[in-house]
Amino acid sequence: AKGWMTEHLVHYQGVWLTPKAALKGLMWIQDHFKPRPTDILLATFPKTGTTWLKALIFATVNRTHYGFSDHPLLTTGPHDCFPFLDAYVYENDRSFHDLEKFPSPRLLSTHIPFTLLQTSMTDDQSCRFVYICRDPKDVLVSKWLFMNKLRPKRLPPISLEEAFELFCQGISHYGPYWDHVLGYWKASLENPEKILFLKYEDLKKEPFAVVKRLGEFTGHPFSPEEESRGVVQEIVKLCSFENLSNLEVNKTSVQKFSRDIVVDNRHFFRKGKVGDGKNYLTAEMIERLNAITSEKLHDSGLVFGN
C-alpha cells in the first residue's frame, strides 16, 4: 500500500495488517490464546469508540469493587485498565503466562476481524464479544487526524484526499472497514448471546440504555436498587468524553502498546461527537462514501445515517 500512513501494511487473507504488530499478534492469538467462557473481548475497528467502551465495560463489570470518588479510571487510562490482547501478545517483555494468570473475568480488547479468529474463539461457548461500530465518515476523519498526530515529524502530513482514497479502497489498519463491521454483525445475528453489537451513535444517544445492556450481557445486570441509586448514571458520567478527556492521566501519560508503538493518551480524545466527519469531507466525498456503505451493507440489515 502507498504512502507512509499505510505503506507498511500487508494484505493477509483479505485484511490489511501491520506485519510487525497486528500480524504477529494474530499469529500468536491463533496458536496460543486460550479463551475462557468468562472472558469479555472488546472488538473494534480503530477509531470507532474503543477507549470509551473500555472505560464503560471496566466500570460496569468492576462496579462493586470501587467507589466513584477514588475510581481507578480517575488515575489510570482506559487502555491500561483494559489491555489490548493483540499488543499484549506481541510485546516482548510481557509473557503468555501473565495472560494465563489474569483473574476471571478477563477484559481484553482486539482489532482483529472476527473472520480471522480461530474456532476456539468463535465457537459458541468459548468467550464473549462486545463490538462497536461507527459511521464510516466519522471513522475515516478520526483516523486521518489521529494518524497525522502520530506521524514521524520528518514527514509531511497526509492529505485528506489521500486518506479518503485509501479508506474507500479498504486500505486501512484491519480494513476494509465494511468487512470488519459485517464479520461481527453477521456473527452477532447468528449468536446474540455471544456477541453484543453496538453503534457509537446509539451509545451517544442513549448511554443509559446501552450501559444497562452491557451490564446484562457481561453477567453483571444492574439491580433495581442500583438503578434507584443512580449507579448507571454515575458510570456514564465517569466515562463521558468531558470527564475522561480532562483527567490529568489522560492528558499527560503515554500508552505503550509495544516497544515501537507509543502513543500519547490525549490523542485518544479528540472531539467525541457524532457527525464531525461531515465538517471535513466534501459533498462528493460524502456521497461516494455513503454509496460504498449502502452497497456493501445493502442486504445486511445494518444501516448508518447519511
Which residue number, 86 or 138, has a Cβ lying nearer to ligand A3P? Answer: 138
Amino acid in position 116: L
Which residue number, 126 or 215, has a Cβ lying nearer to ligand A3P? Answer: 215
Which residue number, 116 or 132, has a Cβ lying nearer to ligand A3P? Answer: 132
Q: CB of 119: closest distance to ligand A3P in angstroms?
A: 27
Chain-centroid distance, C-alpha 250 = 17
Spatial distance between the Cα atoms of 33 and 99, rounded to a whole number of angstroms? 9
- Sole residue written with cell 438503578: 227
Which residue number, 43 or 116, has a Cβ lying nearer to ligand A3P? Answer: 43
SS3 content of the chain, % helix, strand, coil (to 5): 50, 10, 40
Phi, psi of 300, deg, nearest 5: -90, -20
Spatial distance between the Cα atoms of 106 and 83, rounded to a whole number of angstroms? 10
Q: CB of 198: closest distance to ligand A3P in angstroms?
A: 12
CB atoms within 10 A of CB 156: 9
Q: CB of 57: closest distance to ligand A3P in angstroms?
A: 12
Which residue number, 110 or 142, has a Cβ lying nearer to ligand A3P? Answer: 142
Q: CB of 202: closest distance to ligand A3P in angstroms?
A: 12
| 268 burial level (CB within 10 Å; 0-12, 13-18, 19+) | buried
Minimal CA–CA distance to 55: which of 274, 284, 250, 188?
A: 250
Q: CB of 153: closest distance to ligand A3P in angstroms?
A: 21
Q: CB of 181: closest distance to ligand A3P in angstroms?
A: 13
Spatial distance between the Cα atoms of 89 and 63, rounded to a whole number of angstroms? 27
Residues classed as catalytic: 111
Which residue number, 40 or 126, has a Cβ lying nearer to ligand A3P? Answer: 40
Chain residues binding ligand A3P by CB under 6 A are: 44, 46-52, 138, 142, 239-241, 244, 268-272, 276
Residue burial 75-94, b: 16+ Cβ < 10 Å; e: rest: ebbbbbbbbbbbbbbbbeee
How many helices and strands, by DSSP H and E, does the chain display?
16, 8
